């Protein structure tokens, strides 16, 4: 039977493509496996080994093979609540938590069941807009600027909401600390945004997957300042270096129980539950406060040193960049090269990074449409995690937990 002339894909997805960051990483990894030396700054994966004894805990529970509760085992959900009470001063019940196979899956399910407009910030993580489209919504994009450190302001957000025809209830995707820019909203900024959200009935999906990677530890959760209207999204992939373990979670306030129940029902009809050995192992990891504290301290100190170094070196050669405050990324703008690149027939960010890769084997991702930026903008997402995190972690542990500035750590390591 010939299906070649049949419309098999939804028309709204005819030009749909896979996650650009994952496709980029797969391409680079294939070249590296073939023996090509590449300086890979294009993918945001933690460079550090997982915490001590985490693998032993997984092995300990490897024989557990039963289907578990859709929302996750009670002990794990309790450990998650205790974790966020400890670090974010947020009080929630285990009944408010849904554990999923990565935060990305839960974000997608929430978008699917949400009735209303979904707002995405430019620049943004590569999967937000495609997930909005896949969930059959039309993404509404609000643009942030480098002059505002890549953050939306209360004034710009209010104007955006009042200038267009929106549904009664809106969902804002707020990534903090941010991917791809590394920027961080302060408590005061979040409070101001909260006031706009309350005025205009905006629910916030606070993607705080990098929260524990805030370099100076001064992080405020949106769920703390806007408790009734925030779905807190986090997981183990970034701060705990467990991307491949695929554990994420959402914490809902009681006021959004209808959303929580709908996401839980959708989960029961899609992924069923997170793998049993993973859930039991993660529970024990989160309950070990001492090892978590030590791991976060040392990895944050290292990432702060690398971020400070990257920003300083870029600024010294005339490239504009906002100082990263958390995570794995910096989002520099190479506009200083515009005239030189134009003379070579290069007019877009994608053309620039292709030339960079071809001439130097340095791999970065263009800002451009993948991150919801203009095609001609010369921004790139530089993931500064292309180093041996195991050696760096050992060196930081050798130095100890005394106060040491990022520059001093860089010089010593």
Q: What's the pLDDT at 406?
A: 46
Q: What's the pLDDT at 412?
A: 42
Q: What's the pLDDT at 37?
A: 74
Task: Return phi, psi of residue 404, to 5°.
Answer: -150, 125
Residue 343 pLDDT more than 60? yes
Q: What's the pLDDT at 8?
A: 59
Query: What whole-number distance in Å separates Cα of residue 307 and Cα of residue 323?
Result: 8
pLDDT digits (tens, 9 = 90+) for 268-313: 999 999 999 999 999 999 999 999 999 999 999 999 999 999 999 9
Q: What percent of the chain has pLDDT over 90?
A: 82
pLDDT digits (tens, 9 = 90+) for 303-321: 999 999 999 999 999 999 9
DSSP 326: B
Residue 413 pLDDT more than 60? no
Peptide bond connecting 177 to the previous residue in cis, omega within 30 degrees of 0: yes
Confidence of residue 348 (pLDDT cuts 50, 70, 90): very high
Q: What's the pLDDT at 41?
A: 85
Residue 231 pLDDT more than 70? yes
Q: What's the pLDDT at 164?
A: 79
What number is the average pLDDT over the span 372-384?
A: 95
Q: What percent of the chain has pLDDT over 70?
A: 89
Query: What whole-number distance in Å separates Cα of residue 152 and Cα of residue 161?
Result: 12
Residue 34 pLDDT more than 70? no
Residue 14 pLDDT more than 70? no
Question: Lowest-pLDDT range, 169-183, 246-260, 347-361?
Answer: 347-361
Residue 209: name the closest of 328, 294, 109 by CA.
Answer: 328
What number is the average pLDDT over the span 153-179?
A: 94
pLDDT digits (tens, 9 = 90+) for 110-135: 999 999 999 999 999 999 999 999 99
Query: What whole-number distance in Å separates Cα of residue 361 and Cα of residue 359?
Result: 6
**Under DSSP, is residue 3 helix (H, G, I), strand (E, B) or coil?**
coil
Domains belonging to the chain, first-starting first, are 11-49+291-412 (3.90.1150.10), 65-288 (3.40.640.10)
pTM of this prediction? Answer: 0.89
Better-scored residue on pLDDT, 61 or 11: 61
Q: What's the pLDDT at 127?
A: 92
Residue 22 pLDDT more than 60? no
Q: What's the pLDDT at 17?
A: 61
For the chain, the average pLDDT equals: 91
Residue 135: name the closest of 116, 149, 157, 155 by CA.
Answer: 116
What number is the average pLDDT over the span 44-73?
A: 93
What number is the average pLDDT over the span 55-82?
A: 96
What number is the average pLDDT over the span 321-337?
A: 96
Confidence of residue 408 (pLDDT cuts 50, 70, 90): very low
Contacts of residue 279, defined as CB under 8 A and 6 or more positions apart, other chains included, come to: 68, 72, 73, 76, 99, 247, 273
Q: What's the pLDDT at 23?
A: 55
Confidence of residue 163 (pLDDT cuts 50, 70, 90): confident
Q: What's the pLDDT at 405?
A: 47
Confidence of residue 28 (pLDDT cuts 50, 70, 90): low
Residue 207 pLDDT more than 70? yes
Query: What whole-number distance in Å separates Cα of residue 108 and Cα of residue 116?
Result: 14
């Amino acid at each position: 039977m010939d299906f070649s002339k049949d419309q098999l894909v939804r028309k709204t997805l005819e030009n749909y493509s896979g996650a650009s960051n994952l496709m980029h990483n797969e391409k680079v990894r294939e070249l590296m496996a073939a023996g090509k030396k590449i300086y890979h700054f294009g993918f945001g994966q933690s460079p550090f080994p997982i915490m001590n004894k985490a693998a032993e805990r997984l092995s300990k529970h490897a024989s557990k093979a039963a289907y578990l509760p859709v929302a996750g085992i009670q002990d794990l959900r309790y450990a998650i609540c205790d974790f966020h009470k400890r670090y974010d001063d947020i009080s929630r019940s285990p009944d408010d938590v849904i554990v999923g196979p990565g935060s990305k899956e839960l974000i997608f399910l929430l978008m699917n069941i949400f009735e209303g407009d979904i707002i995405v910030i430019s620049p943004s993580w590569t999967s937000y807009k495609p997930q909005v489209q896949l969930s059959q919504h039309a993404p509404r994009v609000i643009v942030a600027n480098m002059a505002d450190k890549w953050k939306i302001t209360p004034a710009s957000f209010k104007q955006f909401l009042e200038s267009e025809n929106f549904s009664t209830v809106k969902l804002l995707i707020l990534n903090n600390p941010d991917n791809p820019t590394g920027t961080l909203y302060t408590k005061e900024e979040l409070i101001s945004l909260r006031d706009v959200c309350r005025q205009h009935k905006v629910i916030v999906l606070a993607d705080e997957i990098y929260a524990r990677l805030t370099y100076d530890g001064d992080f405020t959760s949106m769920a703390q300042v806007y408790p009734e209207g925030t779905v807190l999204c986090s997981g183990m992939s970034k701060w705990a270096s467990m991307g491949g373990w695929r554990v994420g979670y959402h914490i809902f306030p009681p006021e959004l129980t209808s959303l929580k129940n709908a996401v839980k029902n959708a989960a029961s009809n899609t992924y069923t539950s997170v793998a049993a050995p993973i859930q039991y192992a993660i529970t024990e990891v989160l309950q070990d406060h001492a090892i978590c504290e030590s791991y976060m301290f040392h990895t944050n100190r290292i990432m702060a040193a690398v971020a400070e170094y990257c920003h300083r070196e870029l600024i010294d050669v005339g490239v504009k960049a906002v100082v990263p405050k958390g995570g794995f990324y910096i989002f520099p703008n190479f506009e200083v090269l515009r005239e030189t690149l134009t003379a070579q027939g290069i007019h877009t960010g994608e053309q620039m990074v292709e030339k960079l890769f071809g001439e130097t084997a340095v791999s970065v991702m263009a800002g451009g449409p993948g991150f919801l930026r203009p095609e001609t903008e010369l921004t790139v997402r530089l993931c500064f995690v292309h180093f041996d995190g195991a050696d760096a972690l050992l060196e930081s542990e050798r130095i100890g937990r005394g106060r040491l500035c990022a520059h001093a750590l860089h010089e010593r390591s």
